Amino acid sequence: MKKFEYTPRRVTLFAGHYGSGKTNLAVNFALHLAEQGQAVTIADLDIVNPYFRTKDSAELLARAGIPLISPAYANTNVDLPALPREVYELVARRDRYAVLDVGGDDRGAYALGRYAPMILEENDYEMLFVANLHRPLTKTPADALEVMREIEAAGGIPFTGIVNNSNLGELSNADTLLRTEAAMAELAELSGLPICFSAAEAEIARELDGVFPLTLQSKYFDIKGEEKWQK
Amino acid sequence: MADKVLMKGNEAIAEAAILAGCRHYFGYPITPQTEIAAYMAKRMPKIGGVFLQAESEISAINMVYGVAGAGFRVMTSSSSPGVSLKQEGISYIAGADLPALIVNVQRGGPGLGGIQPSQSDYFQATKGGGHGDYRLIVLAPSSVQEMADMTAKAFELAEKYRMPAMLLADGTMGQMMEPVELPEPSESKVEKPWAVTGTKKERKHNIINSLYLNPEELERTNFERYERYKTIEENEVLYESYKMEDAEYCVVAFGIAARVSKNAVNAARARGLKVGMIRPITLWPFPKDVLAKAAEQVKGFLSVELSMGQMIEDLRLATACRRPVHLCNRAGGMIPSPEEVLDALNKLKGECEA
């Protein structure tokens, strides 16, 4: 199978409908760049989502030598939409790769407006629309396009490409991704944007050509059978 | 088989409510259940339904009261502090014998508490958080699929028994994503001769009310209501029994705690300890009989809760304290790990064998 190949821009932004897999993609993408020996920092711009954040991968990122910029109150009991000043520095200094995990939907993308002029001026960015066509509110290309336009209006940065991250969680297989290809091509045509790449859980990606492999963290509520607990 | 979609628990509740014919949603945003309101705001206008963000939880629940009186399927949702605000309205709805769905995606408390998951509204949900003698049917889903299925079920039961029903979830259940097969569209099949829909001058007008001027009449309505509650306790109990056939110890847990506990049961069995689990799905009516029966079989019980120990009281009552009942708990938004549950099981075993 062909390996995943992709030439990154200086700034890569992952935005999309909430629950489309932006955080998983951003974390794995930063790890991918680090593995290739690149200096990269990941920033969590999510001011909407209370749980399951970039910070959950803090240890993994630290081991890979990737600085994580995360709101001070992420994963705490405070629901305060404040972003740390280091994000500004990351965008302004242009001395390393930046991976930005943008919050879901238009509400999440509002946080982007703060940095949009600088990112547009530097003009070395990829604004990726992460789409999972197995999510109920982005099931059709038309629905996904609507979400895309709302995010662009809120964030102030036009999308430059699409990532097909169509999955069904634990029930995913190769077909889960493959059967969305026609609809995803339609979204590409409607929006005039290229599909930059597709992503899938690593085991599944291995069966497919050029698909970006995702390593997913197991969560405390995943149910594991007796065999998994044998020591 | 219908197509599966990947949904957050909160979205599954919202879509399942729409599929169950609910076209009226009144709410006020609060983490970690805001996706329900956000989903309704997006979907309701497209299908001719009503989404209304009220000025407070108190007005939202009273809008529910009004629409329920007109006989429509109606719901509100909130998280712990917001559900506290709704209690007066819930009591009125119960007192007026109206069906409605109230969703509580719990977070840590008391007070403003925090935004992380909790199960510490068990007392409030099952013992009557508002004033007066009344009950709620309380359903506690443990997967996103159940979030969808129980929403439809809650509407059905509420109408069948003319009373409010509550879906009691927690922050994790609301935020986690799983594949879901959405239920088939359904609608109310119950006649509602009591609904306030206009008399067309063909009948005497209906009155939706919870005020009774004479105490004899108020007493009579209370006794009648409790007759109905007895029927529910006899007919509507739901629970899951997991690996109980040969179990020597029984974990009792609901919702997210049951998922962690299922892992602990499997971890215990992998280490040769015969443990099973009984998961109450209806918290009221509580599965008393199956727990009483389990007390004849097992040496001890472990109540696993995201609270300081609330369900454990019902567990002790159900088993008449015939076996030791231990508590394994975390609070304030923290969640026990399967290892912590396993440790608690070993302690329970130690005490039972001493």
pLDDT tens readout for residues B21-63:
999 999 999 999 999 999 999 999 999 999 999 999 999 999 9
Q: Tell me the chain B residues in contact with residue A171 when contact means C-beta distances shorter than 8 Å.
A: 4, 179
Q: Tell me the chain B residues in contact with residue A177 when contact means C-beta distances shorter than 8 Å.
A: none
Contact B175 A52 (CB under 8 A): yes
Residues of B (8-37) whose Cβ lies below 8 Å from A? 8, 11, 15, 31-32, 35
Contact A135 B7 (CB under 8 A): yes
Is B135 an interface residue toward A (CB < 8 Å)? no
Would you say residue A78 has pLDDT above 80? no
Contact B5 A226 (CB under 8 A): no
ipTM for the predicted complex comes to: 0.91
Would you say residue A73 has pLDDT above 80? no
| A166 within a domain of the structure (yes/no) | yes
Three-class SS of residue B140?
coil
| A190 within a domain of the structure (yes/no) | yes
Instruction: Give CA separation, A109 vs A166, A167, B41, B158, B180, in Å.
Output: 21, 23, 18, 40, 27
Three-class SS of residue A212?
strand
Residues of B (179-218) whose Cβ lies below 8 Å from A? 179, 182
Which helix (DSSP H) or strand (DSSP E) does residue B326 occupy?
Answer: strand B325-329
State what percent of residues in chain B have pLDDT above 70.
99
Please report the pLDDT score of residue B180 as a whole number: 97
Supply the angle between the helices B34-43 and B9-19 in degrees, to the nearest 10. 40
Domain that holds residue A100: 11-215
| A17 within a domain of the structure (yes/no) | yes
Is B108 an interface residue toward A (CB < 8 Å)? yes
Q: What's the CA gap between B256 and B103, in Å, rounded?
A: 16
* Residue type at B243 in one-letter notation: K
Closest CA to B125 of B33, B254, B13: B254
Would you say residue B1 has pLDDT above 60? no
Three-class SS of residue B50?
strand
Would you say residue A205 has pLDDT above 80? yes
Comparing A26-30, A71-75, A90-94, A126-130, the range with the smallest average pLDDT is A71-75
* A1 confidence band (pLDDT: 50, 70, 90): confident
Q: What's the CA gap between A133 and A139, in Å, rounded?
A: 5
Q: Which residue has the tokens 């009984």?
A: B278
Q: Tell me the chain A residues in contact with residue B273 when contact means C-beta distances shorter than 8 Å.
A: none
Contact B179 A226 (CB under 8 A): no
Name the closest residue on chain A to residue B266, using Cα atoms. Answer: A226
Contact A136 B175 (CB under 8 A): no
Please report the pLDDT score of residue B264 as a whole number: 97
Please report the pLDDT score of residue B312 as a whole number: 98
Sequence-separated (6 or more) residues with CB below 8 Å from residue B191: none
| A192 within a domain of the structure (yes/no) | yes
* Residue type at A207 in one-letter notation: E
pLDDT tens readout for residues A117-163:
999 999 999 999 999 999 999 999 999 999 999 999 999 999 999 99
Q: Residues for chain A: how many in total?
A: 231
Which residues does residue B178 pair with via DSSP β-bridges, in sequence order? Answer: B7
* B64 confidence band (pLDDT: 50, 70, 90): very high
Sequence-separated (6 or more) residues with CB below 8 Å from residue B348: B249, B300, B301, B302, B324, B326
Q: Tell me the chain A residues in contact with residue B108 when contact means C-beta distances shorter than 8 Å.
A: 77
Is A182 an interface residue toward B (CB < 8 Å)? no
**Which 8-state DSSP code applies to residue A21?**
S
Q: What's the CA gap between A41 and A39, in Å, rounded?
A: 7
Q: What is the mean pLDDT of chain B?
A: 96
Contact A156, A15 (CB under 8 A): no
Contact B266 A228 (CB under 8 A): yes
Other Cβ atoms within 10 Å of B232 Cβ, number = 18
Please report the pLDDT score of residue A132 as a whole number: 97
Query: Longest Cα pair distance anywhere in chain A, in angstroms?
Result: 56
Domains of chain B from N-terminus onward? 4-235 (3.40.50.970), 239-353 (3.40.50.920)
Closest CA to B328 of B263, B242, B235, B237: B263
Instruction: Give CA separation, A229 vs B46, B70, B100, B262, in Å.
Output: 47, 53, 43, 12
Please report the pLDDT score of residue A221 as a whole number: 84
Please report the pLDDT score of residue B2 as a whole number: 62
* Rounded mean pLDDT, B114-134: 96
Q: Tell me the chain B residues in contact with residue A223 when contact means C-beta distances shorter than 8 Å.
A: 259, 262-263
Q: Tell me the chain A residues in contact with residue B176 when contact means C-beta distances shorter than 8 Å.
A: 52, 219, 221
Q: What's the CA gap between B57 and B304, in Å, rounded?
A: 30
Please report the pLDDT score of residue A93 as a whole number: 92
Q: What's the CA gap between B297 and B291, in Å, rounded?
A: 10
The residue of B13, B175, B177 whose CB has the most chain A CBs within 10 angstroms, and thus the best one to mutate to test that interface, is B177
pLDDT tens readout for residues A27-59:
999 999 999 999 999 999 988 777 888 888 999
Contact B177 A19 (CB under 8 A): yes
Angle made by CA atoms B35, B114, B146, in degrees to the nearest 5: 45
Q: Tell me the chain A residues in contact with residue B35 when contact means C-beta distances shorter than 8 Å.
A: 18
Contact A171 B179 (CB under 8 A): yes
Q: What's the CA gap between A120 and A160, in Å, rounded?
A: 12
Please report the pLDDT score of residue A231 as a whole number: 63
CATH number of the domain where residue A81 is located: 3.40.50.300
For residue A227, the number of C-alpha atoms closer than 13 Å in the C-beta half-sphere is: 0
pLDDT tens readout for residues B148-157:
999 999 999 9
pLDDT tens readout for residues B291-337:
999 999 999 999 999 999 999 999 999 999 999 999 999 999 999 99
Residues of B (241-300) whose Cβ lies below 8 Å from A? 256, 259-260, 262-263, 266-267, 269-271
Number of domains in chain A: 1
**Which 8-state DSSP code applies to residue A169?**
G
Q: Tell me the chain B residues in contact with residue A49 when contact means C-beta distances shorter than 8 Å.
A: 175
Beta strands in chain A (DSSP E): 11-16, 40-44, 68-69, 97-101, 125-131, 161-164, 195-201, 212-214
Sheet containing strand B275-280, strands side by side: B239-242, B275-280, B249-252, B300-305, B325-329
Q: What's the CA gap between B79 and B230, in Å, rounded?
A: 29
Q: What's the CA gap between A130 and A166, in Å, rounded?
A: 9
Closest CA to B278 of B295, B343, B267: B295
Contact B256 A139 (CB under 8 A): no
